[in-house]
Structure 1
Amino acid sequence: MAEKQSGNLQNYVKQLATEALEKEQPSAWFEILYAQAEGDVTQIPWAKLTPHPYLQTWLNNHQPFMKGQKALIIGCGLGDDAEALAKLGFDVTAFDISPTAISWCQRRFPDSSVNYVVADLFALPLEWHLAFDFVFECRNIQALPLNVRSAVISAVTSLVKPGGKLLLITRIRDTEAEPSGPPWSLSDSELQHLESFGLQQVEKIVFSDHPQEMDIKQVRIEYQRQNSQR
């Protein structure tokens, strides 16, 4: 496959996402992207081959963790975030809708303790409901359109056990108007929607990955589920 330059790659991702939306399969394009990359990391725009720095900072500041706590990585990509949690003693499950991505993880980390599985955020295993001490959601919600946002937020929050934590990293927008995408940045009301499912905000940090693009705001928010289940 011919290598795509950065700008062309972004346009290609938008094209794939648009075509998936037209077919009413909003998450189908992830497998296409991973499969067509043919093992070339440069063709996966979010693959850095290292844990997300704002996840790593959070982990560094919250040690030690109780060994064996159950953790889940949503949309695990190539597995670096999952491996960071496993090194700290978490019992980690990491899933992606893309079978190619999961196979890629298993090749990269053949001796890993992480349970890498293919799963769909819109059809999660029943045994995952309220099952995890720690859930990491990084930019999957924003990769899906607004017409499925409520369902996605419901699915994400359903994974956190009573007393458990959700760490969310996402782009945000300053208006409730529907943005053009992908990605579709989250609004304040959409963030507040997470709290309607029994999560309470603990800490919020606003940052930008690209200082030259200060208009692109991102947040890392730590939530904790209240003891009452929902």
Structure 2
Amino acid sequence: MFEQQPEDLQLYVQQLATEAIQQSEPSAWFEVLYASAKGDTAQIPWAKLAPHPYLQDWLSTHEPFTQGQKALIIGCGLGDDAEALAKRGFEVTAFDISPTAITWCQQRFPDSPVKYVIADLLAIPSQWHLAFDFVFECRNIQALPLSVRSSVIDSVASVVAPDGILLVITRIRETEVEPSGPPWPLSNAELAQFEKLGLHQVEHILILESEQTHVKQVRIEYSNPHLS
């Protein structure tokens, strides 16, 4: 999300996010962005029309998967990550807060087995609690301000089933000082919240996103130890 975008698009996204925060609706700007794009994927900063390469890499090194395992895609965007999981045999639920994004997914993949639904990460449906064997969170937490970060991390962790896996891809920052954004990269203390919530870190890969900008991101695999 937000890699090397045209400056006018970056400024537009920052304006939308700032206005949403001022109105105490920090996630409302996603629908505004998708709707204003009017079907032009170039206006969606994170729309690559292909599965995320770090997800593809993880999938390629963890096959085969048990058919029918339940997967959840958080903030599914235009659906490419969800479709990649469905092709691996997962029973996939993919959600986004933007109705326009969900309609876009359904139009792009009209015969898809993926269940595309409108949902809010800050108000996760109760039936999703501990319900998914694989959860993919890619750069949604970093797109929301620090004022809701603890709640968002709690929501992400809450949907991982016992013995399930959470895969997180996010930008990180070196300090606890609040950054300007969006995006708002995660700090070590913020990432540590996942383990405080009972998840176990299995793998932590640091990636330098750009030699020019020195932006760092991580791909972290967590497991949810079986509850006794």
Same fold flag (TM > 0.5)? yes
AA partner of residue 44 (structure 1): I
Q: Equivalents in 2 of 1:163, 1:179: separation in Å?
A: 34
Q: How well do the aligned residues superpose, as a CA RMSD in angstroms?
A: 0.9
Deviation at 1:195, TM superposition (A): 0.6
Q: Which residue of 1 aligns with 2:155?
A: 155
AA partner of residue 208 (structure 1): L
Q: Equivalents in 2 of 1:21, 1:8: separation in Å?
A: 20
The gaps in structure 1 that reach 5 residues or longer are none
Aligned length: 224
Q: Deviations over 1:37-86 (max 9, x none)?
A: 00000000100000000000000000000000000000000000000000
Q: Which residue of 2 aligns with 1:126?
A: 126
State whether structure 2 residue 68 is matched by structure 1 residue 68. Answer: yes
Q: Which residue of 2 aligns with 1:116?
A: 116
Q: Equivalents in 2 of 1:210, 1:37: separation in Å?
A: 27
The gaps in structure 2 that reach 5 residues or longer are none
AA partner of residue 218 (structure 1): Q
State TM-score, norm by structure 1. Answer: 0.96
Q: For 1:35, what is the secondary structure of its paired residue?
A: helix
State TM-score, norm by structure 2. Answer: 0.97
Runs of 4+ in 1 over 4 A off after TM superposition: none
AA partner of residue 32 (structure 2): I
Q: Equivalents in 2 of 1:53, 1:207: separation in Å?
A: 12
Q: Once the two structures are aligned, what percentage of the paired residues are identical?
A: 69
Q: Deviations over 1:97-117 (max 9, x none)?
A: 000000000000000000000
Q: Equivalents in 2 of 1:119, 1:153: separation in Å?
A: 16
Q: Deviations over 1:180-209 (max 9, x none)?
A: 111111000100011111100000111133
Q: Which residue of 1 aligns with 2:21?
A: 21
Q: Equivalents in 2 of 1:82, 1:150: separation in Å?
A: 25
Deviation at 1:6, TM superposition (A): 1.1
8 Å CA contact retained: 1:198, 1:228: no
Q: Equivalents in 1 of 2:185, 2:209: separation in Å?
A: 14
- The equivalences for 1:6-85 within 5 A come to 6-85=6-85
Deviation at 1:213, TM superposition (A): 1.8
Q: Which residue of 2 aligns with 1:171?
A: 171
AA partner of residue 79 (structure 1): G
State whether structure 2 residue 92 is matched by structure 1 residue 101. Answer: no
Q: Equivalents in 1 of 2:198, 2:209: separation in Å?
A: 30
AA partner of residue 39 (structure 1): G
Q: For 1:150, what is the secondary structure of its paired residue?
A: helix
Q: Which residue of 2 aligns with 1:223?
A: 222
Q: For 1:218, what is the secondary structure of its paired residue?
A: strand
Q: For 1:212, what is the secondary structure of its paired residue?
A: coil
